[in-house]
Amino acid sequence: MANQIPETVIEEIRQANDIVDVIGDYVQLKKQGRNYFGLCPFHGEKSPSFSVTQEKQIFHCFGCGKGGNVVTFLMEMESYSFYEALQFLADRAGKELPDTEIKKESSLSQESQSVLSAYEWVTKLYHHLLRYAKDGKEGYHYLQARGLAEEAIDAFQLGFAPNAKDFTAEFLEKKGFHRQILVKAGLVSLLNDNSVSDRFRGRVIFPIRNHLGKTVAFGGRALGEGQEPKYLNSPESDLFQKGKLLFNFDLARKYIRKEGEAVLFEGYMDVISAYQADVRNVVATMGTSLTEYQAKLLKRYVNTVIICYDGDNAGVEATSKAADLLRTVGCEVKIARLKDGLDPDSFIQKYGKEAFQNEVIKASETFIAFYMRFHRQAYNLNLEGDRIKYIEKMLEQLAMIDSPVEREYYLKELSKEFDISLDTLAGELQTYQSRNGRVKDKSEKNRYTNNGTASVRSKKLLPAFQNAEKKLISYMLQDASIAENVREELGAAFNVDEHKIIATYLYAFYEDGHTADVSLFIERLTDQKLKQMVIEIAMAPVFEDISDKEINDYIRVIRTQANDVTDIQSLKNQQVMAERQNDPLKAAQIAKQIMEIRKQLKNTN
């Protein structure tokens, strides 16, 4: 597939997209040494074992084993075809791909492509009607009354669906869309007489986009009296699953990375109002409780999540559940407090954006502060028994906190409020920590790549000649002159078959005039097993400067193994011949020689 696009074009596009920046749009990466680490997006994990090297432009997960370059990553992450991944990167870098037949290939079914296209057309139509047409004035006036400016209306592509039965169906059928697709997409509803009616007629439209910015569904808000339900979503489909999407995630993603935290709301209007209040790192669930999938998605991008739900009792209950889920997946949680039982949108309308920024978002409290306040209402603290139960519950929660500073702060708060000595509370806290397995050996701390390390340590130690071959290949991958030296001295005489093949490909790669480039080299390999092997070898740490003596030592170890194997095979043939000639003494002497060589091999390995 790749050879239908000039290699120079592929290379130009790949070099225009730094792998750290591209993967950074999907994973929160932190630099450690020369590499970047984060939580693997391909399998569930709580400790980062996913590594990206900027120098070599490749990634590798020490947990699940996936690896590759920037094109491979997008093919894995988005289920893209090779061409789609290149097209994405070309668009990202402002470059064009040449026309080619593989343009017609897509990872999406024809039906899903049609649904996306239909939603794109209708999003533009409804937005145009809202902003510029008489048919959309009702929706426009509603949004104005809610305090939305044109800039926010345009940014979120808000629209209005006219209160006409078949307006949308006729529009899309003229564009060539089949009615059956429109029903399945949830843009129109099938009636008993087999006619159709616009699903969102008479409603303000909130386009729901996926992480790539493609509209996959609508949320509609009714304006007319007695129109039920007040809020209506598109039906779920392969493209739209409420529990897997977060409203505004595509626009908020870069602000989440910049701020180092995400603000989580319950509704569309809360997000849009916050956007107008210059708080841009904001997302919302789709009218349902936060799911584990959404929590893990946020954790991949950011460590800290500020929950900003409604200030009424239902909102506080929902906050508690969302906080528990976020903390379970490893997020640090803060809680934004809204006075007077207001929702975020109402608070902004009433008190203004500065108050929202400073008194709500920036003043958000820690999870423990919220937890203590939330659970106080379940106990009558005037009663001794309830006081003891409350203190025990707080200690149980404090035992789950890793920060000793935070633990001590709240222990002092409890000590002060209930007149209990700090030593007594600290002793009880340690009991809970032991019970929960939270008292850890110091060696357990700061293991940033513990999953990867564990997986490496668990592997059987390799013989010396295999390590020598891997090390040699790793240096050959980063230096063409070393590869040329090895070619002259050793050729393809590696002992491991896969290493022979990799070396042969590498010699050809450099003969074609390429400079050392692991990311480009793996693009030329068609065998997935070989690709993974090259990536693993390339990710292993090596010295920047290596002497000729060290290279020659590796070559010597490899040759010795090959010679010894050859010697053993020759002796085995002689042994068989001695046995056939009825010479048991000679056969025994040869067997002893074989054992000696094997013993030497074992000692050097």
pLDDT tens-digit profile of 129-138? 999 999 999 9
Distance CA 8, CA 212 (A): 27
**Three-state secondary-structure class, residue 279:** coil
Which DSSP letter does residue 177 get? -
Q: Are 160 and 204 in contact (CB under 8 A)?
A: yes
- Structure tokens that stand for 33 in this block: 């040494």
**Res 445 pLDDT > 70:** no
Q: What CATH number labels 7-93?
A: 3.90.580.10
CATH H-level, domain 464-591: superfamily: DNAb Helicase; Chain A (1.10.860.10)
Question: Please, what is the Cα angle at 322 between 321 and 326, to 5 degrees?
Answer: 120
Q: What CATH number labels 110-240?
A: 3.90.980.10
Mean pLDDT of 299-328: 94
Q: Where are the domains of the chain?
A: 7-93, 110-240, 244-372, 464-591
- Between 305 and 493, the more confident residue is 305
Extended strands (E) in 419-469: none
The helix (run of H) or strand (run of E) holding residue 390 is helix 384-398
Longest dimension (CA), the chain: 108
Residue in the structure block whose two tokens are 């939305």: 148
**pLDDT recorded at residue 368:** 94
**pLDDT recorded at residue 192:** 84
| Pairing mode of beta strands 304-307, 332-335 | parallel
Chain-wide mean pLDDT for the chain? Answer: 87
pLDDT tens-place string over residues 549-600? 888 888 888 877 655 555 556 656 666 776 777 777 766 776 776 576 566 6
Domain 244-372 is of which CATH architecture? 3-Layer(aba) Sandwich (3.40)
Q: Which of 112-126, 314-328, 418-432, 553-567 has the lowest mean pLDDT?
A: 553-567
Of 388, 378, 374, 397, nearest to 424 by C-alpha is 388
The sign one gets for the Cα dihedral 188, 190, 191, 194 is positive
Three-state SS string over 98-149 comes to CCCHHHHCCCCCHHHHHHHHHHHHHHHHHHHHHHHCHHHHHHHHHHHHCCCC
CA dist 73 → 70, 82, 156 (Å): 5, 11, 29
Of 77, 102, 76, 68, nearest to 87 by C-alpha is 102
**Res 1 pLDDT > 50:** no
Distance CA 263, CA 284 (A): 8
| 233: confidence class by pLDDT, cuts 50, 70, 90 | very high
- CB burial of 155-187 (b: ≥16 within 10 Å; e: otherwise) equals ebbbbbbbbeeebbbebbeeeebeeebbbbbbb
Distance CA 122, CA 161 (A): 9
**Res 452 pLDDT > 60:** no
| 441: confidence class by pLDDT, cuts 50, 70, 90 | very low
Distance CA 123, CA 217 (A): 10
Q: What percent of the chain has pLDDT over 90?
A: 62
**Res 252 pLDDT > 50:** yes
Which DSSP letter does residue 495 get? S
**Res 357 pLDDT > 90:** yes
